[in-house]
A = this chain, B = another copy of it.
Amino acid sequence: MKPLKFKIRETFEGMRTGVVETRHGKFRTPVFVPVATSATVRALDNRDLEELGAEVILANTYHLHLKPGDELIKKLGGLHKFMGIDKPIITDSGGFQAFSLGFGMEHGVGKIADNIFLEGLREVNFKANFKGEKWAFVNDEGVRFKDPYSGEIVELTPKKSMEIQANLGSDIIFAFDECTSPLSDKEYTAKAMERTHRWAEECLEYHDKRQALFGIVQGGEYRDLREKSAKFIAERDFAGFGIGGSLGKSKQDMLNILEWVVPLLPEEKPRHLLGIGAVEDLFNCVERGVDMFDCVAPTRWARRGHLYVSPPEGNPANKFRIHIQNSRFREDPKPIDENCECFVCQTYSRAYLRHLFVANELSYFRLASYHNLHFILKLMDGIRESIKDGSFFELKKEWLGYI
């Protein structure tokens, strides 16, 4: 029996809704997958995820390998049992950290080069922790990391990544890839892509066949490389596909890359755009055929005081966010978002949440994370509905102001 089934339900102008079925249940697509880096969606618990309607989560192989260790998790019955969660779990391959701790730190960039301080928070964070030093080194065998906790060298190879993910026992796993930087030149990007292709074949060989393996398309911002990579990966027996790596120098580059890559991927398999999840991106990427997204944005922005608001207050210019610390919220008795039905918006005022944020109260992090995740998951519900009933462009216009 295949570890993953994907059924397409409705289609509309190149977009589709579907259901992915795994050993641990189903999730509907297009889907936004909350990130549980260290086996927890930061500041939230399992009951929250249930209530929020999160049907699937993504945990990070690199982080769990270091802490608490994938061997320990295996011993305790795997990630589902360890987390006490009975939903599909995705793990990434650790390849992204080869970038974020390597070129990401060296070049000071994120997945898209032009907005590092807005979108590339992961890198800003790492830089703040590790003082700009490079912590990952790639060669043809794999990646060597310095463990930030112990200072020891950690090696990840395609085989090792498959072993770790097998220990974790996740439902959907990713092939180990090299994620290049938007500042990598074409020569380097091509070399990294060839390496990623060799690694993809190793992963196909070594992975636990009870897990659904997704291949990752690389090739940076270069059309011929992206097309070559898409064809190479599409031909192989993967359960689905990730679109990874550098997504160019602007959001438009990212959309171009999707327009090159998606048509080359087999229609009957799900497509996951790795690490992307801003409101505007969800519309534009679903429109180009993406089925799955994961991103730390909702919870990370929440912790930093940025809370999502819907139109008309939210718009592409303010990225659908208010910053709760702003003094204009000091006496504001309104909920974060008047259109939101989450318990945070039903219970608390902006003035109260501002107080908690300013006082650095732990409760703030939970309430803010809850709201932001609720907001994005509900938006995804709406997008899914709009594909079903053909109103996608009306919804997009309402949110983005353009089609």
Q: How far is the CA of A330 from the CA of B358 in the complex (A)?
A: 35
Q: Known contacts A67-B355, A72-B330, A76-B349: does B367 contact A365 (CB below 8 Å)?
A: no
- Residues of A82-100 contacting chain B, CB below 8 A: 82-84
Let me know if A52 is at the binding interface, CB within 8 A.
no
Q: Is the CB of B356 within 8 A of A40?
A: yes
Q: Is the CB of A352 within 8 A of B45?
A: no
Contacts of A349 in B (CB 8 A): 76, 82, 84
Contacts of A348 in B (CB 8 A): 84
Q: Is the CB of A42 within 8 A of B82?
A: no
Of B68, B330, B356, B366, which one neighbours A366 at CB under 8 angstroms? B366
Q: Is the CB of B39 within 8 A of A352?
A: yes
Q: How far is the CA of A362 from the CA of B38 in the complex (A)?
A: 11
> Residues 37-67 of chain A: 1 if any B CB is under 8 Å from the residue's CB, otherwise 0?
0111111111100000000000000000001
Q: Is the CB of B355 within 8 A of A68?
A: yes
Let me know if A252 is at the binding interface, CB within 8 A.
no
Q: Is the CB of A39 within 8 A of B347?
A: no
Let me know if A331 is at the binding interface, CB within 8 A.
yes
Of B41, B45, B68, B351, which one neighbours A72 at CB under 8 angstroms? B351
Could you list some 30 contacts between A and B, CB below 8 A?
Answer: A38-B355, A38-B361, A39-B352, A40-B356, A40-B361, A41-B363, A42-B362, A42-B363, A43-B362, A44-B363, A46-B347, A47-B343, A67-B355, A67-B358, A68-B330, A68-B355, A68-B359, A72-B331, A75-B331, A76-B331, A76-B349, A76-B351, A77-B333, A82-B349, A82-B351, A82-B352, A84-B352, A362-B362, A362-B365, A362-B366
Q: Which residues of A contact B (CB under 8 A)?
A: 38-47, 67-68, 72, 75-77, 82-84, 303, 330-331, 333, 343, 347-349, 351-352, 354-356, 358-359, 361-363, 365-367
